[in-house]
Amino acid sequence: MTSFTIDLSGFLEVHAKAVAEACNSGRATLAVWRQEIDPIDPAELLIPLFVHTRRAFVWVSPQSSVLAMGTAADFSGRGPARFATVRAGWEPAARDVVEGGPGPRGTPSLVGGFAFAPGDGPMPDGLMWVPKVLISREADGPAVLSLSVGVEPGPAASDDVVRVVNQAYGWLTAVGGRPCRSPHLEGTTVTEVPPPDEWKALAGRAVEQVGSGAFGKAVLARQLRVDAPCSYDIPSVVGALIEGQPGSTVFAVALDRHAFVGATPERLVGVRTGQARSMSLAASMPRGATPEEDARLRDALLADDKSRREQQMVTAMLRQAFDRVCGEVRVPAEPYVMDLPNLRHLHSRIEGRIADPSNTGVLDLVELLHPTPAVGGHPRQAALDWIAAAEPFDRGWYAGPVGWMNTDQEGDFAVALRSAHLHGRTATLYAGCGIVAGSDPEAELEETRLKFRTMLDALAVPGYGPVGVGTS
C-alpha cells in the first residue's frame, strides 16, 4: 500500500475555473490537476488498474512509464484521415485546458493509438483519450499523478472531481505486488492463419512481385490464434512482458472487453523540446546459446548484405521524412545491433531539430512516418496495395502507432509489434517478415515463429514451432 494525499480543495478550484471557461467559450474544457507522488513499480499498479476500470492504458519503456484509467475526453478518427481528425480535436482542447497543482507541466495528457490501416477490426481506427487518472514517470524523474475532468458548457457540479479523486485513492491504495505469471493450461489450442503452406506460397508470390519490379519490399504478416480454456488475465500477461522484455516498450490498451498488448523493440517517433527522435529497425538474427555463438551471430548480422540493404531502405525513408520537417538531421554512418532476449536487429537512431515546433507536433510526425518500410514496404503505396489484397485478415492495431502526448504536442509513439489482441479466451497474435529479393519463404516462416515467442511466453504457451531467425 502507498501513502499520499490529494489536495481536493485545489482541484476543486481548478474545476471551478474550467467551468467558468467552458461557459465563457461555449466549448467543452478539461480541468487537470497534477502533483508528484512517491515512485511506484509499474508492475505493482497492474492488478488494481484492471480491476478498477474497463478503459486502461499501460506504457513501460526504458525512457518512461505511463499508466492510466478511465476517460475524461475521447478524440477518435476513422478512415485515412484518422490522424488528422484526432489532431484537429486535440490541439484546440489542449490550448483550452485549465491546469493546476504543484506537479510539472509537460507530463503525458493523452494516450491511445491507431490501427495499421482503416478497417473492420474490433478496435477503432484511431482513438486517443485523456484519462481520468494517470501516473507517469520519466527515467530518473519524479512520479506524477494527473487527475482530469471534462466540463461541458453550463452549470456543473463538483461530484465528478470527488469521484476522480476517489478513483485515484482506490487504485493507489490497492497497490500490493506484481501479478503472478499465468500457468500453462491444458486444452489450449493454437491455429495458424493462414496455414504454413498457404503462407509460404503467399511469400513466394511476394518474392515474384519483387522480381518483377512491382515493389522492392513488402512486409507480409500472419496470425496465430490461441484459444484457452478460460479468459486471459491481462495483468499477468502484461506483467510477464515487463519481466521478460526489459529492453522493449511494453504496452496495453484495454477498451471494454478487448485488450491490445505487446512488447515492441521499435520506436516510431518521440518529440521533446523541439527534438524529434526515431529508429530505423530492420533485419534479424537469433541469439546464440553460448557467448561464442552469440558473438558469431552478431558479427554475421552486421556482415549480411541482405540485412544491410533492408535496414538501409528503412533508414533512407526515415531520413527523407525528417528532412521535410527538420532543419538538421543526424543519422549514423553505420547501423548498430540491438540485442533482445531471443533475437537481435540492426538499427540506427535518427534525430532532428524540428524547424517549426509551433506547427509540427508529434502526431504530425506519426502521420508522416507511418507505416515505415519496416512494417509496410517500399515504395509505400505499391506495397500497401499488395498487402491489402493479399493478407486474409485485418491487421487491426498490429504494427500501428501506440503512445502518448502532452498539451505541448510532444510525446512518444512506438510501432505495435510482438503483439496480440485479447478477447475473452482468445488471443490473436501477429508477426510479419520483410520480403525482399532473395527471401526464402521457409526461412521467413521460421522468422515469424520466433517472433511469436514473445507473446506466447507471456501467455504461457510452450513448445510452438522451432527456433529460426527473425523485426515486424
Element of type H or E holding 350: strand 343-354
- Catalytic: 292? no
* DSSP 3-state of 161: helix
DSSP characters over 443-462: HHHHHHHHHHHHHHHHTT--
DSSP class of 122 = S
Cell of 99: 491546469
Classify residue 211 by burial, with Cβ atoms within 10 Å: 0-12, 13-18, 19+.
Answer: exposed
Q: Which residue has the cell 475473452?
A: 424
Catalytic residue among 21, 99, 192, 217: 217
Active site residue 217: yes
Closest CA to 17 of 27, 34, 31, 7: 31
CA dist., res. 311 & res. 301, Å (int)? 11
Count other C-beta atoms under 10 Å from residue 255's C-beta. Answer: 18
Buried b or exposed e, range 122-136, using 16+ CB within 10 angstroms: ebbbbbbbbbbbbbb
Q: Are 360 and 325 in contact (CB under 8 A)?
A: yes
How far is 75 from 368, CA to CA, in rounded Å? 19
Q: Which residues are catalytic?
A: 217, 266
